[in-house]
Every structure is written in C-alpha cells, then in structure tokens.
A and B are shown apart, each in its own frame.
Chain A
C-alpha cells in the first residue's frame, strides 16, 4: 500500500477506527435499524415515525450466505489490473436482525467460507485514486 491518506469510499457509512463499525440509524419509536442510514420515514408498516438516531451497528455477525465475483464488474467499480476475483458475504447481525452484504477480505476464497461462520467487520482498500486510498468495509472470518 502506498503512503497516500486513507479516505472512506462512501462518506459517513462507517467509522475509520481500527475496529470499525457501520453507521446506521435506529427508529426512535419502534427500534428498527436501517443501513444505509434512513432519516426520512420508518419502513415498519406499523410505525409512522420520522425521528431517528445514528447508531454504530454490531461489528460481528454470522454468514447468511456467500459467493464470489469471478468476472470484473462494470463501472463504477474500480478494478485492479489484473483483476483478482474476490469473495462476497451476506452477514446476519444478531442484535439488529438484519443481513448486510459486503466483500470478504482479500485472499479468502469461497472454499474457506460456510453458512453460519462467525465474521467481523474490518476496513480494507476498495481502490486507489491520485489523491488517496478509498477504504470500505469487508467481512473477515474469525476463529470460532
């Protein structure tokens, strides 16, 4: 990695700490969580609240399912050359009772993943620009 500064790929979606969290919102009335953040109207049909608080989502969960990208996705994805396939996981967060998609950290193939496997959230490079290194959240398997 170069010595360029680190910047979030999408502003305000996750913290930049060593042990990062996704930033979501929670409905002040019914307690439903939202990611990405939803500040406008609660999507729970039994709730018409428009009041939300920003919250850090659980940074650990279990794999709901997983796959990989064997072909280079189209833009706006910025691919390294040559393209290296990467794994993708859908992760169930216990407390929030929601599933969040994300890439799996570099170097982990589907053979090493399993439904139900515990994972944690880390930050890793998504791509590099002239000015900085764009970081995003990725899922990292943890030893059970």
Chain B
C-alpha cells in the first residue's frame, strides 16, 4: 500500500519581526492554505499543530489553540514538539491519521515568535543541565556551526569565499520571495565586511530568528481525486530518525560525543542518516531529486547538507556551488526559497515552510524562483540533539 498523501493547499505568513501573537501567524497561514485547497474549514477533521515553547500555555497546546482561533468545529487535535522537526512530526501525525483511514482531510500548522538576541538558558547553578553547562563554559549556538564550518575548510579545502557564495546565491533568489524577511541582495564584500561571530563564520553567515507561520492542508489521495485534485503534489516520505550510537559529531547542547570505544563509530553522521530513510520510503534515490530545501543555519551548513543528502560526494559540495549547480538553472538548485538566510528561523513553522516551497515549486507556481520541470523535492532540517527531519514531495 502506498503511504502517500496529497498536499491540497499551502499557506504562509511572511517571516519577520512583526510583534504579533503566534496565533495570528498560524491562523493567517491556515486560512491561506484552506483557500488554496478550496476546502471548507468544517471539512477538516484533524488539526495538527507544531508547539512553540516561548509562547506560554497556548503555545504548548498549539493544535487546540489554532482550532479554537479558526472556530471550534469538533475536529480531532494534536500538538507536536520536536524543536526544528516539530512541523514534520505534526505532518507525520496527520499522515498517520489519514493513512489509517480515520480522517480524509487535515490541517497542519506551525507558528512562532522569537525574542531578540542570544538564546540563553534558565538561571541558577545547574551543572546537571547540558545547556547551562555549555553556556557557563562559553560555548554558544554559533560555536557548533563554526566547528562544522572550520572542519570543512581544513579537511575539504572549502574557503571563506565559498561560504559567502552561499549567502550571495540565497539572497539573490530570496530577495524576490514576497514571504521572506530579508530582501537585500548581499555581495561577497558585504559578507566579508560583517562582524566575525565564531571563526570562520561572520554575522552574514549565520541565520537570524524570526516570527512566521506556515500551514498545509493534506488529504488522502482518494479525497484529492474526488475534489478534482488528483494531480496534487504528494508527500512521499517523512523521516524523523534519531542518530545511531555512537554518533561521532558533537551536537548542541552536548559538550562531548558518544564514546565509540565499545561499538566503533557509526559510518554516518546524524544528518546523513535522516535522508536515508526518506529515500527508502519514497522509493527513489538522490539522482531523482530536482531541488532541495535545507537548513542553512549557517552558510557552511548548506554545503554539509548537500553531501548528507547525497546530492554531491562527501567534500564536493563547494565544487557544485562554484559551478553554479545549486543555483536556479543549475543541476540541483538548493534553497530557492532563499532559505534561512532570507527567512530567519521560526522554529515550529520552518519544516512546514520548506514543504510549502516544494508544493509551489512542484505546481509550477513559484514565479521567478521556479525550477523548471521540478517533479521531486526534498527537505532537510536539524534542531536540538536527536531532532531533525527530511520530507520528500513529488508529483
């Protein structure tokens, strides 16, 4: 039996710092997705929300909060919290409900607001909390991205110019995305002139936090056919796999990796295991992919992802970038939405925003961002330790 579901509608509230409540972003995205799907709200029988921990009680029960805001109509409800994979887990919950035959149509929605500045841990003296420990020792979030970036330079010969080229590429496309937060086209000189944050990453290499909201209306393939949308893009795979022991790459917020003394180092990093399950589930390989939306928390991380998704052999992502193959018109365009470089990050919305972009791309509705003839797209994201996801959408 196929495990595909149809994407009938996609919606987003533009990313930015708008100062609204997260519910407002989610409702705007949900209404846009409903209108796009042409499905009446009353026909949605399952509401699957991505939770946001910074918005108090309503954020923890995001599914019901959105359902109430849209008007109670008796649908079943679910809330998922999985850091940056929250949206994918919410989508997975909706898919399970649909594939089990318990409902025909579901709304999946995530929205967030974020505070300004560094994310900091709770106070006190708490050495049992790894998040507290690393900050006490002076190890912030950019440290981890920078460790990965510096390793690329020393091991594969990537350069600062390569990292800047990722920002230049993404901002060139994202500047025209009406839903993106940053509309400026950055040059390599802009990147080089920005302040150093964590060597080799500068301010322009690292993504900001944002407010935003994204939503999808998904259904069984039968329902899609019934309403004349049998050719709608399909969710062909959702992977939310955890790492395998011993994971050899140090992950935020830990200050040490697993020891591989007993079992040997797993051949794969956490990031590279995520898409493996997605490819297997969709029954396709990396060669079938037309475009990818990946988590460019840093410019260098986009290059890691290209290799983790097997779109280039290990160490060769920068060569792909230099050849222009990851830009629009290239062999495998990456982050044609503009990526996190242009959006910033709105945690529970981001994984859904990636799927929204693939939906518009596969329907040929992406305007000047359009990847011609796109039939298969893949997403990848990563949050705190053990939380990440990869989704394949095909037509």
Contact = CB atoms under 8 A, between A and B. Distances in A.
B150 interface: yes
Contacts of A65: 147-148, 150-151, 154
Interface string A26-63: 01001111111000000111110000000000000000
B1 interface: no
A73 interface: yes
Given A102-B137, A115-B155, A76 B123 contact: yes
A11 B257 contact: no
Contacts of A76: 121, 123, 125, 132, 135-136
Contacts of A46: 263
Contact of A69 (B121, B155, B198, B263): B198
Q: Give the interface centre of A9, A64, A86 by most chain B CB atoms within 10 Å.
A: A64
Contact of A67 (B127, B143, B195, B259): B143
Contacts of B137: 9, 77, 101-103, 126, 136
B231 to A, nearest CB: 43
Given A69-B198, A70-B199, A9 B136 contact: yes
B331 interface: no
A142 interface: no
Interface residues of B, number: 50
B185 interface: no
A70 B195 contact: yes
B259 A36 contact: no
B255 A97 contact: no
A64 to B, nearest CB: 7
Contacts of A45: 244-245
| Chain A interface category by residue count | 35 or more
A7 interface: no
Q: For chain B, what secondary structure do more than half of its interface residues adopt (helix, strand, loop), or is it mixed? A: loop
A27 B133 CA distance: 23
A14 B36 CA distance: 59
B127 A11 contact: yes
Nearest to A110: B199
A88 B139 contact: yes
A16 interface: no
Contacts of A77: 135-138
Nearest to A97: B260
Given A31-B261, A67-B150, A115-B155, A99 B250 contact: yes
Interface string A122-133: 000010000000
A104 B11 CA distance: 47
Interface string B94-113: 00000000000000000000
B143 A88 contact: yes
Interface in B253-269: 255-265
A10 to B, nearest CB: 5
A36 B138 CA distance: 16
A30 B262 contact: yes
A17 interface: no
8 contacts: A31-B261, A45-B245, A47-B262, A65-B148, A67-B198, A71-B140, A88-B138, A90-B147
Interface of B: 117-118, 120-121, 123, 125, 127, 132-140, 142-143, 146-151, 154-155, 195-201, 244-246, 248-250, 255-265
